[in-house]
Each structure stands twice: as structure tokens, then as C-alpha cells.
Amino acid sequence: MIYLFLFLTVTFCIYGLLSLRTEKNVVVQERLNYFLSSEQKIKEEKTQTQEKHQSFYKRLIKPILLDFKKNFNKRISDEKEEKIDMKLQRAGNPFGMTPVDFRLVQTAFICILPMIFAGYAFLLNVGAGVGVVFVLFGFLTGLFVPNHYLKSKTKTRSKNALREFPDILDLLTVSLEAGLGFDAAITKVVSKKEGVLAYEFQRCLEEICIGKTRREALSGIRDRLDVDVIRSFISSILQAEKLGIGMVRVLRVQSNEVREQRKQRAEETAMKAPIKMLFPLILFIFPSLFIVLLGPAILQILETFKNS
């Protein structure tokens, strides 16, 4: 009987301890759930208040545009998207546009401009034939204006890169001759210079940091910049790295070539100047000069004929 009471006592004690521990865990879990649910409620309330204070565009129009962009993106082939993306990168990615954004802008121009020109034709009260010409002109304008804008941005960016290239190449050569590695020399160039080439080298370093090889990162610069001199420079660096030739020697040769090419471009521009000045001279300066010089003589001759 004593052993039975002892067994029951021990059993109830163990059960009490286990139930107490379980109850304690339940209490802790309930408190955690309370605080977590309260944090969740606070987050939900914050999001609700933020949504209330957002503009009409962000609350209603922007989600519709995002859904429309997703559906529109499915209709663009991968090859076409890569071509548009390369055009945008060569243009400096204006306004942070993606290929889908560019296609949407182009579609909007194609749809809106013909309507605007049709409205002008209606207001001017022109005939049906002229109205069709107006609409066709608006359609062609909407079709070619976005591409023309990208081409002009690409051309401007290429000119800026070509203008910056000799100074950056000299700084890169000096840094390598001072004993820096190629990556460290690029970092030095990025810290000292600003512009298109500095931005491209900065992007090259970032791509190397995230795991790309130096060859892939430099090839990206060559693809994004539509400048023959810079492409030749990148190809020379990649070839030197592949064959094990010293970078300093390659850069010194490239620097001399770039200086010579810059001199030739300056001479070519100077030779084009007289031809460019010819048309303003003929159209504007020569007529004014003839009026000033021959005008009084012509008036005297006319006066003489009248008197005679």
C-alpha cells in the first residue's frame, strides 16, 4: 500500500511538473501571438494609412499600368527585347526605361499623334485628302520619333565618351606605371573622373564584384559604347590579357594612337569648317553685303534714268 501511494505521488508530481511546463509554454506562445498579431495589425494599419494618403495615380492608375505592362511584356519576343535593351543601354538608359516601357511609349506615340493631327485637320477645316495626309504624317512621326530620340542620345553619348577617352587613358596608363593593378587603376580613374566612360568603368567594377569575369565586364563596355576607338582599346586589353602581354606596354601604344587620332579628327574638323561656312555666307552675308555696296549705286542709276 505504501508503494502504491509512493508511485501515485511520484506520478502526480511528474504530471504536475509537465503540465506546468506545458502551461508555461502555452502562456509564452499566447503572449508571442499577441505581440506578433499586434505588430501585424500595426503594419496593416500603417499600410492602410499610407494607401489612404497616396495619390490617385499610385492607388488606382499605377497598379493598372503595372498589370498592363506585364501582359504587354509577354507579347515581346526575347530577341526583340534584347535588341531594344541594347539600344537603351547605348543611349544611356534615358529615364530609366525598360524595353517594355520603350515599346509602350512608342505605341502611345503611334496612337496619340495621329489623333492630334486629325484634330488639327478638323480645326483647320481641310479636305478629306489633306486630313488623311495629316493622320499619316502623325503616324509616321509617332513611329520614328522614339527611335530618333534614342539615336540622338546614343550619338551624344558616343561623342562625350570619345572626348573623355584620351584623358582617361592617360590616367589609366600613369596609374599602371605607378605599380597599381588593372582593377585598382580603374578604381583610381573612377574616383578622379566623371562622365560616360567613368560611369561605364564603375559599372564594370560592380559587375566584377558580383561575380563576372573581367573579360565579360570589359566586353559589356565594348557593346554599350558605339565608338570604334574604345572598342579597339577594349579588344587590345582583352587580347593582351589572353596572351600575357604587359598592360602598360599596350596602354602606352594605345595612348599614342589615340593622340594621333585626336589630332587627325581636329584637322578634319578644321578642313570642314570652310565648307560649313559657305552656305551661311551665300544665303545671309553676301546678300546683305551686296545691298550695302551696290544699293546706293543702283539708286543713283535709277535717278539718272528718271531725270534723262
pTM: 0.66
Tens of pLDDT, residues 138-181: 888 888 888 899 999 999 998 888 888 888 888 888 888 888 88
Give yes or no for residue 127 having a pLDDT over 70: yes
Instruction: Check: CB of residue 173 under 8 Å from CB of residue 252.
Output: yes
Q: How far is CA 236 from the centre of its chain?
A: 27
Instruction: Please work out, in degrees rounded to the nearest 5, the angle formed at the alpha carbon of residue 180 by the alpha carbons of 174 and 184.
Output: 105
Distance (Å, rounded) from C-alpha 250 to C-alpha 78? 38
pLDDT at 28: 56
Q: Average of pLDDT values for 8-14?
A: 55
**What b/e string do you get for 102-133 counting C-beta neighbours within 10 Å, with b at 16 or more?**
bbbbbeebbeebbeebeeebeeeeeeeeebee
Q: For the ranges 1-10, 24-33, 194-203, which has the lowest average pLDDT?
A: 1-10
Domain boundaries, the chain: 68-154, 159-265
The strand ranges marked E within the chain are none
Could you tell me which CATH number the domain at 159-265 has?
1.20.81.30
